[in-house]
């Protein structure tokens, strides 16, 4: 294929473009490329011109060619213009998110002689948009510590350690009960550190099974497994040299822990189904609500992986251990709810505050936020009173009459002392912490009368986590409700 001759001025204009551009013949061969495309992909001109355009590995084109019959691609089959988001691969195997615009070119007789392909790298644009979202979410949080509210001694200690951890590159592991704000702490570490202008990419490890989790983390190539119809970049590739946040790290399967350990040791990873190593430049921030040391002792968590991620441990205290922060949190959430709802509800009455201060808060800060959201819905006007808070058994227990002076409320239905009997030997393989987690799950399912979404809200976790724990502990919903 002969490279088309262009007037000198036109050639200079094409090479001065910021976006990549190349011409493709009807048979799929690349006729010409500009300098921007060479810079973008890392190829030399002679490595692209004359080659099939499939050398760039565009995932959308690969799919479209299967439906094009005798034509090379969908553009030549349908005519007109094509504008789409897709991924292409560089010479060294890096995956680029691009916006590609394609248009047919015809000669003076109306015959198709090729297509013009314009490629814009939108990776930096998407990263900038993510940064804008993160900053926007903090515009009205100038009175807190990167979204974390508290002035108690335990929280001041947390803030001091966050500032120190943020300045280094060592792995951080954040522990604490569900709903204490572990992801906010991870974001604070990111915002206060030298990587704050880089991506912050979170992933909930409990939301995926083993194969899907590896695909989410490492990405995969087309054909790597059944259903892998296109290339996909993983979180390690997406985060680049930013901060990768692995939430609920205690639920990572053992085989995946082995692969992650190797990534942390070698600082390289491979996409699923590929053997091309890619650099791993991100810092790892992990979080868990489980006792990893007990999981290690029970053989459910690798000790070497635990040591590798437990470089800087950071524990977030539960809300019941920092009750002095409850009034601050109430004011904080009330201000956000007023802004969101447009309702003029100034705050809470002393009676309501007394009831909030007396509650044990098993769901921690997340539960407190849900309680106030409920109160904003039922409160007709003026400040939130005790009667506007959720009734006992629906997320907020009534305090003793001697404590708050409020009228005694009907107590919730008593819970049996023991959960439904499990098959012999079923619980022997679980740690005491896991058995406690199972009992809490059963109790929440009973209080929610089998509603998994409501049980998730009571526990301060996602509905997917409730389903995963039911499978993990062999909890039968019908048996749980029958033995109530």
Looking at residue 101, what is its pLDDT?
86
* Cβ contacts of 192 within 8 Å, gap of 6 or more: 146, 162, 163, 166, 167
Instruction: Indicate whether 69 and 214 sit together in one domain.
Output: no
Residues 378 and 440 in one domain: no
Domain assignment present for residue 269? The answer is yes
Give the integer Cα–Cα distance in Å for 244 and 396. Answer: 35
CATH number at residue 107: 3.30.450.20
Angstrom distance (rounded) from CA 184 to CA 200: 12
Same-domain check for residues 20 and 147: no
Beta strands in 76-175 (DSSP E): 81-89, 95-106, 112-121, 172-175
DSSP characters over 174-192: EE--TTS-HHHHHHHHHHH
DSSP for 117-138 reads: EEEEE-HHHHHHHHHHHHHHTT
- Please count the other Cβ atoms lying within 10 Å of the Cβ belonging to residue 29: 16
> Residues 162, 176: one domain?
yes
CATH code: domain of residue 345: 1.10.8.60
- The structure's pTM equals 0.60
- What is the SS3 assignment for 115? strand
| Domain-ending residue, one of 64, 95, 121 | 121
Inter-residue contact 25 to 32 (CB < 8 Å): no
Q: How many CA atoms lie within 13 A of 36 on its CB side?
A: 17
Query: Is 67 a domain residue?
Result: yes
Show the beta-strand stretches assigned E in 231-274. Answer: 232-233, 243-247, 268-269
- Domain for residue 2, yes or no? no
Q: Are residues 165 and 183 in the same domain?
A: yes
79 and 34 housed in the same domain: yes
Cα dihedral across residues 281, 201, 291, 156: positive or negative: positive
- The domain containing residue 80 runs over which residues? 8-121
CATH code, domain carrying 296: 3.40.50.300
Q: State which H helix or E strand residue 30 sits in.
A: strand 30-33
Between vectors from CA 421 to CA 451 and to CA 359, what angle results, nearest 5°?
Answer: 50
Token pair 């930013």 in the structure block, residue? 242
**Cβ proximity of 271 and 220 under 8 Å:** yes
Q: Is 421 part of a structural domain of the chain? A: no
- Chain centroid to CA 372: 25
Within-domain flag for 409: no
Q: What is residue 69's predicted lDDT score, i.e. its pLDDT?
A: 54
- Sequence-distant (6+) residues with CB within 8 A of 270 are 218, 276, 277, 278
Written as one string, the DSSP assignment of 444-466 is: HHHHTTT-HHHHHHHHTS-HHHH
What is the reported pLDDT for 410?
36
Residue spans of alpha helices (H) in 16-122: 35-41, 45-48, 59-65, 74-78
Task: Give the SS3 label for residue 140.
Answer: coil
Of 268, 244, 267, 250, residue with least CA distance to 305: 250
CA distance 292 to 249: 9
Q: Are residues 306 and 337 in the same domain?
A: no
Full pLDDT tens readout for the chain, 484 residues:
456 656 567 777 888 888 899 988 888 889 899 999 999 899 999 999 989 888 888 877 766 655 555 555 666 666 667 788 888 888 888 888 888 888 888 888 878 888 888 988 887 676 666 655 555 554 444 456 777 888 899 999 999 999 999 999 999 999 999 999 999 999 999 999 999 999 999 999 998 888 889 989 998 888 777 776 677 888 999 999 999 999 999 999 999 999 999 999 999 999 888 888 999 999 999 999 999 999 999 999 999 999 999 999 999 999 999 999 999 999 999 988 988 888 888 889 989 999 999 999 999 999 999 999 999 999 887 889 999 998 765 556 554 443 333 333 333 334 444 444 444 445 556 677 778 888 888 888 888 878 888 888 788 777 778 887 887 888 877 666 655 5
CA dihedral over 204, 208, 210, 214, signed as positive or negative: negative
Q: Long-range contacts of range 157-164, CB-CB < 8 Å, 24 or more positions apart?
A: 158/185, 158/314, 158/315, 158/316, 158/317, 161/312, 161/314, 162/188, 162/189, 162/192, 162/314, 163/192
β-sheet with 200-204: strand ranges across: 200-204, 243-247, 283-288, 172-175, 312-315
Tell me, yes or no, whether 27 and 111 share the same domain. Answer: yes
Tell the residue number behind the tokens 């010409």, with chain if given: 32
Phi, psi of 254 (to 5 degrees): -60, -45
Number of domains in the chain: 4
Token pair of 216 as six digits = 């989410």
Radius of gyration of the chain from its Cα atoms, rounded to whole angstroms:
28
**Nearest CA to 359 among 394, 398, 325?**
398
Residue after which a domain boundary falls, among 60, 92, 121? 121
Q: State residue 415's pLDDT score.
A: 42
Residue 421's Cβ-count burial label (10 Å; 0-12, 13-18, 19+) is exposed
Tokens of 452: 């998994």
């Amino acid at each position: 294929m002969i490279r088309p001759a262009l007037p000198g001025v036109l050639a200079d204009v094409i090479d001065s473009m910021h976006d990549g551009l190349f011409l493709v013949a009807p048979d799929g061969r690349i006729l010409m490329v500009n300098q921007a495309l060479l810079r973008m992909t890392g190829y030399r001109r002679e490595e692209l011109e004359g080659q099939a355009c499939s050398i760039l590995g565009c995932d959308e084109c690969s799919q479209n060619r299967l439906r094009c019959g005798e034509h090379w691609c969908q553009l030549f089959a349908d005519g007109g213009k094509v504008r789409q988001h897709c991924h292409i691969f560089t010479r060294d195997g890096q995956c680029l998110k691009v916006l590609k615009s394609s248009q047919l070119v015809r000669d003076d007789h109306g015959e198709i002689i090729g297509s013009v392909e314009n490629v814009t790298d939108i990776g930096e644009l998407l990263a900038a948009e993510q940064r804008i979202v993160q900053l926007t979410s903090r515009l009205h949080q100038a009175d807190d510590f990167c979204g974390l509210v508290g002035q108690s001694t335990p929280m001041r200690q947390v803030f001091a350690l966050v500032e120190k951890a943020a300045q280094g590159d060592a792995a951080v592991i954040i522990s604490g009960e569900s709903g204490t704000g572990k992801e906010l702490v991870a974001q604070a570490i990111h915002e206060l550190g030298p990587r704050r202008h880089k991506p912050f990419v979170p992933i909930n490890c409990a939301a995926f099974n083993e194969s899907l989790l590896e695909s989410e983390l490492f990405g995969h190539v087309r054909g790597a497994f059944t259903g892998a119809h296109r290339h996909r970049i993983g979180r390690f590739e997406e985060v680049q040299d930013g901060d990768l946040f692995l939430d609920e790290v205690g639920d990572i399967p053992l085989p995946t822990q082995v692969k992650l350990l190797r990534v942390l040791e070698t600082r390289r990873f491979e996409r699923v189904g590929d053997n091309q190593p890619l650099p791993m430049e991100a810092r790892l921030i992990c979080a868990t609500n489980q006792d990893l040391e007990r999981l290690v002792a029970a053989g459910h968590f690798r000790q070497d992986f635990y040591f590798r991620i437990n470089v800087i441990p950071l524990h977030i205290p539960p809300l019941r251990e920092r009750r002095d922060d409850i009034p601050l949190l109430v004011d904080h959430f009330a201000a956000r709810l007023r802004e969101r709802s447009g309702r003029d509800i100034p705050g809470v009455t002393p009676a309501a505050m007394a009831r909030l201060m007396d509650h044990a808060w098993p769901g921690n800060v997340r539960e407190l936020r849900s309680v106030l959201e409920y109160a904003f819905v039922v409160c007709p006007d003026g400040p939130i009173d005790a009667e506007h808070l959720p009734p006992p058994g629906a997320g907020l227990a009534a305090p003793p009459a001697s404590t708050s002076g409020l009228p005694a409320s009907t107590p919730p239905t008593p819970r049996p002392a023991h959960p439904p009997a499990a098959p012999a030997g079923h619980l022997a393989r679980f740690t005491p912490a896991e058995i406690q987690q199972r009992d809490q799950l059963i109790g929440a399912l009973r209080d929610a009368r089998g509603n998994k979404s409501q049980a998730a809200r009571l526990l301060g976790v996602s509905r997917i986590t409730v389903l995963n724990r039911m499978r993990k502990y062999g909890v039968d919903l019908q048996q749980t409700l029958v033995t109530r």
